[in-house]
Amino acid sequence: MSRRALLIANSVAYSDISKNVPRATVNSVVAELSTSLSGLDEEYSFATHAVVDTEHAAARETIRNYIRKSDKSDLLLLYYFGHAMNDPYRGELHLYFRDSEATDPGSMLSLRDIVNWLEIYKIQRVVMMLDCCYAGTGAKALRFSGSVKDAYIMASVNSQEKAAIDYHGERAYGVFSNFVLQAFTNPGARADGRNVTFKSCFRYIKDEMKAVSKQLPYEFDANLGDEIFFSQTTKPVIVDAFRESTPKKCIYRKLFVIASELFVKGEQSERFLYSRLKQREQVEFMQPKKVRSGVVEYEFVSENAFNRYLKLGVLLGILKREDLLSLTQAGRRMVDRGGKQYNSVLHNLLIEAWIKHGFELSELEDAVYRRIRRGSAPSLRGIHRDVSLRRPLGMSRDLFTILFDLTGYVGALNYSDEKTFFPPLGTSDL
């Protein structure tokens, strides 16, 4: 038996364009989900295929063909993100594609059509992850299927409610989908040991959503809920390329800007690099400053603060200081071709930095898991305290925080909302 996943997603547009979910973000999330699914241990790995921002007719044929080519013994995972419409008279969910019209259900794809194909091609084991308005309606179509014997549906909302977009996180995307991605690494998703079942994955998503949103997800289980979805390992699945979705002012982006400037312009003095970025008011280094009550202005970071980023780059092995500042071999690989290997190379450098201080990622994972199991918040400060009580750290809390934060941004850890945009003045390790 093999595992196959069809990832269907469409960019989302509203009358208020500031609320849109752009194609670049959709592509980024689908790529991350695809990497997470295909990078699982061999026993649980999925062969994935993406259908992103496609016109209705082409998407329809691609989806039908993908189902047709699946074996009836396969476990088929279908993921959808985008607009959807609920037919109140027939109780059917219609998926909205690039050329669909809001007033014309015929220009959309009915989920009932997808279920019909599952029946025609005798697919018997199906998992659906639906992140759209009225997603719970999808359970009705699958529940009355005469062919699909084993099924599990994770829906972002019930059949009556609208799905929400998270505009406060790292990227504007579905609240539900963001927690789906976190489930691959967060110990809170485990059922037992390191195993994550479809049901424990949904339970984790539901609990996390309850803390940040009024949106209530919906599940339907027909014999698949307790099957193992995947097993969390200490070897994270890392998306190679630079993550465009990260906050503008995080250290992850600052290091990218510095390395990219040196890659394009060549070696230069620290003061010259600082003056160039300051002159063009590089947004990643603009720092908020309260000038009076209710009024905030932005100014470029001080030269001393800027030098701390350079020291961090040297510490990690991205930069080297001789007569002038330049990139190491690793630094050049990170930003070559616009950062195609930025994440993977930075991840390796971070692992080396942790090992230098006697740490393994499994140690940090277990510290988080212990806090979750006893009902404590897995905050960065709490994790630092728990680890430091068990063993000498050999580094300051500030450096621990920075390394932990960067490790989160490359996708190896994702347990805290505390972000280190500006290293503290007292970061003596640097």
Question: To which residue do tokens 């930075």 refer?
Answer: 346
Beta carbons within 10 angstroms of residue 135's beta carbon: 30
Question: What pLDDT is attached to residue 429?
Answer: 59
Q: Are 11 and 23 in contact (CB under 8 A)?
A: yes
Q: Are 166 and 208 in contact (CB under 8 A)?
A: no
Report the distance separating Cα 40 and Cα 22, nearest Å.
28
Report the distance separating Cα 414 and Cα 186, nearest Å.
7
Report the distance separating Cα 333 and Cα 342, nearest Å.
7
Write out the E strands in 273-313: 286-292, 295-300
Question: What pLDDT is attached to residue 111?
Answer: 92
In 354-388, which positions are buried (b, 16+ CB within 10 angstroms) versus exposed (e)? beeeebebeebbbbbbebbeeeeebebebbbebbe
DSSP 422: S
Report the distance separating Cα 356 and Cα 407, nearest Å.
15
Neighbouring residues of 128: CB distance < 8 A, sequence distance ≥ 6 = 77, 78, 79, 80, 138, 142, 151, 152, 153, 154, 155
106: which 2 tokens? Answer: 């015929």
Neighbouring residues of 259: CB distance < 8 A, sequence distance ≥ 6 = 313, 318, 319, 327, 331, 334, 335
Beta carbons within 10 angstroms of residue 1's beta carbon: 7
Strand 109-110's sheet: what is its strand order? 84-87, 92-95, 109-110
- Map out the domains of the chain with their CATH numbers: 3-231 (3.40.50.1460), 251-409 (no CATH)
Question: To which residue do tokens 């202005």 refer?
Answer: 297
Q: Are 98 and 120 in contact (CB under 8 A)?
A: no
Please, what are the averages of pLDDT over each run of 10 residues along the chain (430 residues)? 93 83 91 92 94 96 96 92 82 90 89 92 93 87 72 92 83 91 88 92 94 89 94 76 85 96 94 95 88 82 93 96 94 96 95 91 78 71 83 86 88 58 53
211 to 201, 206, 381, 417: CA distances (angstroms): 16, 9, 19, 13
Query: Of 398, 371, 365, which is closest to residue 386 (Cα–Cα)?
Result: 371
pTM: 0.67
324 to 164, 214, 319: CA distances (angstroms): 49, 54, 10
Question: What pLDDT is attached to residue 425?
Answer: 46
